[in-house]
Chain A
Amino acid sequence: MTAARVSAPLGATPAATAAAANVRAAVTSACEGLVQRETLVELVALCAVAGEHLLVIGPPGTAKSEAVRRIASRLGGSYFEYLVGRFTEPTEIFGPIDLRRLREGVVETETSGMLPEAELVFLDEIFLGSTAILNTLLGVLNERVFRRGHTHLRCPLRVCVGASNALPEDPQLAAFADRFLARTFIEPIADAGLEELLTAGWSLGPSANLAPSESAQVASLHDLDTLATTARAMDLGPVRGQLAHAIRIVRAAGLELSDRRIVRLQHLIAAAAALAGRQQPTSADLWPIIYALPTQHAQRLGRDVLRELLATSHSPALVAAAAESSLGPRARGERLLREASAVLAQAPSTVQAGAAVDDERSQSAAAWRLRLESVAREIDATFDSASLPPELAAARAQLAAQLQQASPAATSSS
């Protein structure tokens, strides 16, 4: 079973369709080996197309930086990453002062290899930055312009991902945080995913913390720019009524969205449509609303109150993000299809030789069988036979066949 295909609906340009397919491939590649981080990876791609920024909130050691690093390497472009601390100097992020020019009485910053020249940026513990750092960052985030002393530089920044353990409570920091339109909240891996986490973590080995390499690139900045152009050219008229209705529902539930966030949310919706291979957004592309809600509680409540409106959410390119935001059956089915495809592709390899051959193979097969059962269980607990999507029904049949093969006496009732 292959990964979800990006089809070419009527009206989609070949260039946009190809770009969407490339970004989709980049997302799929970046997610390999990551456990339960698909939404984060997909949101980075969404924000890069939309020209917006992403805030990731989660405890330390939850693969936030690894996920961002991976998608950055697959998308190409220059990448800058830094762990911000209370005593971090602006020069560590923006570059040192050019001493030669300083002797001439001109304060210029040497930005080569630093944030102002990066196309994808990840700043960990971003709210620990000093006022000097955050004030300079504001200009970069809002206007894509770096200003410091005599240096005025237009920045090629596509997306800045900021990470923190928690949302800031300080009003000034909260105002800075509002510049990150999209937000996602990361939790440690649940118990059910621990075996997969251990397997994936061991497979990564010592290469886990290396900087992105050019050889990993799958898509390109040209693809991002093609999709961004497509998104900017879209007519959002057909969905503005539904979007306004959604905002009213959200407000009626007591959730606040600033006017700025409401207006800029349209960028995410248009980007979602472009990545889905559409020339114009539809109701299937409204799901980014959830990620524009500012807190974890707001996003949970938003999913609940917008359940009906987001029921048709669908993104062949951003499967996990659409499914997680909408709780809709179509998005859920696509997520399960992707999980079924992934686990079917993970059939355990044979062990070469040695006294432990049978034990290792047995344990490996048993672990795989448990993963097969887990996906089959979720499919049957989610869809009855009449409403099971055809592709998912085919995947289910493959799962059942593999489980039948593993235990012919005990698995099937037939």
Chain B
Amino acid sequence: MSVGGPLLPLELTPRREPLEPQAAAALGPAALALAAHLLARPAEALHALRGVAGADVLAVLGAASDLPWIDGIAYFGRDERAPRLLLPTTVEIGPSPALLERALFARYPHLLAPVLVVPGARRVVPMATALPVEPARLRAYLEAP
């Protein structure tokens, strides 16, 4: 979902120490490329992943070693200051991840954690309803109009 209007001015700075990846997401054309990449994996390799798909976003949850890689993918992890959010592993969101978490859930009370935050695209992706990644679902996603 897109966040209409700035919740608060965000400051993005490189993290001194990256977060441990727990999720990966691709937007736009990269989402389709990610779906095709996952479909090319052996079916048993998908068992470790759960995912959420939207019109132009595909996001998966899993252990760091199980997450896929394609050019254009981004990785997300948990900051202990905002445990309900999945934040970019490489970028610190200021002024405070805790404030961002409170503001998001206050503005969108129906959101269920965890919520993946893509600050550059001003997108949030609710991950609570993530389903097991399966070839049939990936094919349906790729074939959707």
A interface residues with partner B (beta carbon < 8 Å): 191-192, 307-308, 311, 327, 329, 373-374, 376-377, 380-384, 386-387, 400, 403-404, 407, 409-414
Contact = CB atoms under 8 A, between A and B. Distances in A.
B71 A412 contact: yes
B51 interface: no
Given A192-B65, A307-B16, A409-B36, A384 B91 contact: yes
B69 A307 contact: no
B95 interface: no
A100 B67 CA distance: 70
B46 interface: no
A329 B18 CA distance: 9
A374 B65 contact: yes
A384 B36 CA distance: 24
Contact of A411 (B71, B90, B91): B71
A241 to B, nearest CB: 22
Contact of A413 (B16, B17, B18, B71): B71
Contacts of A387: 14, 90
Chain B binding surface, main DSSP class: mixed
Interface string B15-57: 0111001000010111011101101100000000000000000
Contact of A377 (B16, B21, B72): B21
Given A192-B65, A410-B40, A414-B71, A381 B18 contact: yes
B66 to A, nearest CB: 10
Given A410-B36, A410-B39, A411-B33, A191 B69 contact: no
A386 to B, nearest CB: 7
Contacts of A409: 36, 40
Contacts of B36: 409-410
B18 A412 contact: no
Contact of B68 (A329, A373, A383): A373
Nearest to A373: B69
Contacts of B77: 381
A311 B16 CA distance: 8
B73 interface: yes
Contacts of B16: 307-308, 311, 329
Contacts of A192: 65
Contact of B14 (A308, A386, A411): A386
A192 B48 CA distance: 14
A384 B90 CA distance: 6
Contacts of B30: 413
A151 B33 CA distance: 74
A410 B77 CA distance: 24
A240 to B, nearest CB: 25
Contacts of A329: 14, 16
Contacts of A327: 17
A409 to B, nearest CB: 6
Contacts of A400: 71
Given A407-B37, A410-B40, A413-B28, A380 B69 contact: yes
Contacts of A407: 37, 40
B70 interface: yes
A400 B89 CA distance: 20
Nearest to A303: B17
A381 B21 contact: yes
Given A377-B69, A413-B30, A413-B32, 13 more contacts: A307-B16, A329-B14, A373-B69, A377-B67, A381-B77, A382-B18, A386-B14, A387-B14, A410-B33, A411-B33, A411-B70, A412-B33, A412-B71
